[in-house]
Amino acid sequence: MPETIPDNSVGIVVPQTLSFDQPLQLSCGRTLAKYELVYETYGTLNSDASNAILICHALSGNHHAAGYHSIDDKKPGWWDNYIGPGKPIDTNEFFVVSPNNLGGCHGSTGPASINPETGEYYGPDFPLVTTKDWMHSQARLADKLGIQQWAAVIGGSLGGMQAMQWAVDLPERIRHAVVIAAAPRLSAQNIAFNEVARQAIMSDSEFHAGHYLAKNTLPRTGVSLARMVGHITYLSDDAMGSKFGRELRTDSIKYDYDAQFQVESYLRYQGEVFSESFDANTYLLMTRALDYFDITEDYSGDLGAAMKQTQCKFLLVSFTTDWRFAPERSVEIVNALVEAGRDVGYAEIEASQGHDAFLLPIHRYQDLFSAYMINVAKEVSTT
C-alpha cells in the first residue's frame, strides 16, 4: 500500500459492474428491460454471507464510498470517515457493498447511459425511479452476490430513506437499519427547494428538454444554481458563519455584482465544479425520488402502521443544526418504532455543521456508531 494512504483506509479499490437482464418493473409503471449497476466492495464476505452491509448513497453520492481509485487521488470516497479497518463500519468485520443507484451518473445505468434499444442517450426518456425501485435493484445485486440477508443497511439523508424502505418492504432481508439524518417523508419546504433546483436546470437554455448530451452540451448554469441552492441547505447558518462570516475577497467593498464575499466565490466554485461532473437529468431524477419518498405511502400516511412491518433493529441519528432533515423528523420515526415495539437506538448529535455533519468525523457520532456496529458484528460471529 502506498505511503500516502493511511493504515485505516481500505486502500486502492476497483469498481465492479454487474449486468441485469431480467426486466425490472418500476414504480412509475414502466419496465427497464436491462441495466447495469456499478458498485464497490470493501472487506471479505464470510462463509455464510452473514456479514454483508449495504451502503445507500444520497442525492449526489455514488458507489465510491471508501478508499482510493489510485495513489494519485487527492480525496478518498465520500464516507471514508466511517468505512475502513477499525472504523465504525469495520472492514475487518464486514463485507461492505456500495452501489451507485440506478439512474445515477457514475456508472450505473441512468439518463447519461446509452439506451441499448435505440443506440442513443436515454436522456429525459430514462424513467423516474424511486427508493422502492432502488431497493429492488439492490436486492437483485444482493442475490447475485449470494447475500440473502444484510447484516445492516446503512445510509444518510436519501440513503437513510433507502435503509427505511428496506426495513419496511423487505423486512426478512435485513437485520439492522442505520438511518442517519433522514425523515419519514419530505416537507413542503424540502420539496420547494428541490423544485427551485429543477426549475433552474430545466430553464437553462442549454438543457434542450433533457437532450443536451445529444447536442454535445451541458446545462452548466442550471446545474450550478441547483447545486448552490442545495449546498446552502446542507450547511447550518452557524457553519456558514464560522466558515465564511462576512469576509471579503478584497480589501474593501467594490460595489458591483462580482463575487466579493468569500461565501459567494465558494458557492460559485462548488456549483461550477459540480456542473461539469454531475448529470443534469440524474439531478432531476434524484430530487424527484426525494419528493416522492414517503415511507407511509402504502399505509395511508400512518407511520406507525409502516413501522409495524419492520423486523430489524434500528439505529437512528440526527444532528442538532440540521435544518434540512431536523432532529424532530428522526424523532417521528423513533416514536413510531418504539410504539411498534422495535429495538431502536437514537442519538441527536451536537454538531454545528448542519445536514453535512453526517459525512464528517464527529467524536460522539463516531463512538456511538462504532458501539452499535460492534454489536452488529457480534451477532454475525454467533450467526
For residue 157, indicate whether it is catalytic: yes
Give the closest residue to 289 by CA, choosing from 99, 147, 110: 110
The residue within the footprint of its own copies, chosen from 234, 292, 365, 369 (CB under 8 A), is 292
3-state secondary structure 271-334: HHHHHHHCCHHHHHHHHHHHHHCECCHHHCCCHHHHHHCCCCEEEEEEECCCCCCCHHHHHHHH
Among candidate residues 157, 224, 275, 318, the one labeled active-site is 157
The residue within the footprint of its own copies, chosen from 3, 14, 21, 29 (CB under 8 A), is 29
- Binding to its own copies by residue 331, rule CB under 8 A? no
The residue within the footprint of its own copies, chosen from 10, 53, 112, 263 (CB under 8 A), is 263
The residue within the footprint of its own copies, chosen from 151, 177, 181, 235 (CB under 8 A), is 235
For residue 72, indicate whether it is catalytic: no
- Binding to its own copies by residue 366, rule CB under 8 A? no
- Binding to its own copies by residue 193, rule CB under 8 A? yes
Q: Which residue's CB is nearer to its own copies, number 13 or number 267?
A: 267
The residue within the footprint of its own copies, chosen from 69, 211, 268, 308 (CB under 8 A), is 268
Long-range contacts of 187-190 (CB under 8 A, 24+ apart): 187/329, 190/290, 190/291, 190/324, 190/325
Cα separation, 132 vs 134, in Å, equals 5
Give the closest residue to 211 by CA, choosing from 275, 281, 272, 274: 281
| Least distance CB 194 / its own copies (angstroms) | 9
- Binding to its own copies by residue 240, rule CB under 8 A? yes
| Window 46-65: contact mask with its own copies (x via CB under 8 A) | --------------------
Q: Which residue's CB is nearer to its own copies, number 247 or number 339?
A: 247
Cα separation, 213 vs 1, in Å, equals 39
Give the closest residue to 268 by CA, choosing from 231, 219, 218: 231
For residue 133, indicate whether it is catalytic: no
- Binding to its own copies by residue 187, rule CB under 8 A? yes
Query: What is the set of active-site residues?
Result: 157, 322, 355
Interface residues with its own copies (CB under 8 A) are 27-29, 127-128, 185-189, 191-193, 195-196, 198-200, 202-203, 205, 221, 224-225, 228-229, 232, 235, 237, 240-241, 243-246, 253, 255-257, 259, 261-264, 267-268, 271, 284, 288, 291-292, 294, 323, 326
